Amino acid sequence: MGNQAKLSASGNDYDFPVLKGSVGPDVVDIRKMYGQTGMFTFDPGFTSTASCESALTYIDGDEGVLLHRGYPIGQLAENSSFMEVSYLLLNGELPDADELSNFEFTISRHTMLHEQLLQFYRGFRRDAHPMAVMCGVVGALSAFYHDSTDISDPQHRKISSHRLIAKMPTIAAAAYKYAIGQPFLYPDNSLSYTGNFLRMTFGVPAEPYELHPAVEKAMDRIFILHADHEQNASTSTVRLAGSSGANPFACIAAGIACLWGPAHGGANEAALNMLKEIGTPDKIPHYIERAKDKNDPFRLMGFGHRVYKNYDPRATVMQTTVREVFDALKVTDPLFETALRLEEIALNDPYFVEKKLFPNVDFYSGIILSAIGFPTTMFTVLFALARTVGWVAQWNEMISDPGQKIGRPRQLYTGPTQRDYIPVDQR
């Protein structure tokens, strides 16, 4: 018999199995707890609860480690491509050369949108936030691809996964084009996944678009850094939505909605807005004091993480990438100096040291994205684009699990106990 965890409650002792992962903390298996004890556990923010079993991504927050299928994020960001990482996440192993080119070819065959779907954009106000457009248009995909929504059929799941990964750049670029009043560009499948996205975003039909190789590489790396991140809020949302058997397009739309929040994917937009508000390094101490003040809702955006209690390894790569993009484009941004100084001051401040608050992936990403030419409102859209592969890989993993059940948390009820209805004239 393996390890057991003991619970003593109301004069009784109970044993629960302790499960071991390949690495990381053991977990106490409490699936039978309610049946045996009549009690639930209480963990509203899932701070101590593993919601599923997964073989995709591993994070050691204390050490600042992030592995996809075992491979460190730093190695993937340095040597791999977003398409290769996507294959890895979906299939479990790195592809050989043929597998990679077949995968790239397959994805490139699905980049176009149904022509009618483009009409949807015209229903939105021009000043709509592109994340609002993303929620709507991605959700609408389920109205167009009926031939791939039978989730019990692995082939349907595969095609819908490929469609989502392939169409996301086209959908995101169209959201941008619509906002600025330029014509939509159709995909050009002779380009790389990332090159095609940049062209659809920044190109115009009137003239050829020249891809900047260093920008294409930096963008691809940013996509790699955002590809998956274990059971974060949006991934858990996708899993929960999918656990009821909802179709994958609807599930990914749910993930996008969750990602939008400033505590999650919306932090990249909020972080750059914050740096703009701070402006010059001399204003930093004032904002540091505000961040520490419990009565002030201001927080250092792009700082802190539920899991990382060390430097987010993605932030390290982001910081290097800022310099590469600046060199390639021969630009600079004084906000980068402000960000570096802010990081330095915060990392030497006892408040941030004691609470183990470090820069996360969003702290530097906005500086790169704005150097490339994206408005802040597009930042979270780019996150959604890249995270789609993680979402579909996690969704597929869940649906393929024979033990999968609908997600149905319980609660600690604190409302009124049963009482009788009183007619309105007697209240």
Which residues are tagged catalytic?
Answer: 305, 362
Q: In this structure, are residues 385 and 268 in contact, taking their beta carbons and an 8 Å threshold?
A: no
**Judged by CB, which is closer to ligand CMC: 299, or 341?**
299
Rounded to an integer, what distance in angstroms lies between the CA atom of residue 146 and that of residue 143? Answer: 7
| Shortest distance, position 49 Cβ to ligand CMC, whole Å | 14
| Shortest distance, position 267 Cβ to ligand CMC, whole Å | 3
Rounded to an integer, what distance in angstroms lies between the CA atom of residue 176 and that of residue 170? Answer: 10
Q: Tell me which residue has its CB nearest to ligand CMC.
A: 304
**Judged by CB, which is closer to ligand CMC: 248, or 359?**
359
CA torsion sign, 166 to 168 to 170 to 173? negative
Burial class from Cβ neighbours inside 10 Å (0-12, 13-18, 19+) for residue 146 reads exposed
**Judged by CB, which is closer to ligand CMC: 162, or 229?**
229
| Shortest distance, position 274 Cβ to ligand CMC, whole Å | 10
Comparing CA positions, the residue from 373, 226, 209, 346 lying closest to residue 290 is 346
| Shortest distance, position 281 Cβ to ligand CMC, whole Å | 18
Q: In this structure, are residues 315 and 360 in contact, taking their beta carbons and an 8 Å threshold?
A: yes
| Shortest distance, position 263 Cβ to ligand CMC, whole Å | 4
Query: Reduced to 3 states, what is the DSSP secondary structure of residue 154?
Result: helix
The one-letter amino acid code at 119 reads: Q
| Shortest distance, position 282 Cβ to ligand CMC, whole Å | 20
Which token pair is 344? 């330095």
**Judged by CB, which is closer to ligand CMC: 191, or 361?**
361
Largest CA distance in the chain: 79
Q: Which residues bind ligand CMC (CB under 6 A)?
A: 232, 263-265, 267, 291, 299-306, 355, 357, 360-362
In the block, which residue shows the tokens 């703009």?
276
**Judged by CB, which is closer to ligand CMC: 197, or 383?**
383
Task: Give me the DSSP letters along 249-295.
Answer: HHHHHHHHHHHTSTTTTTHHHHHHHHHHHH-SGGGHHHHHHHHH-TT
Which token pair is 36? 């045996």
Which token pair is 317? 């790569």
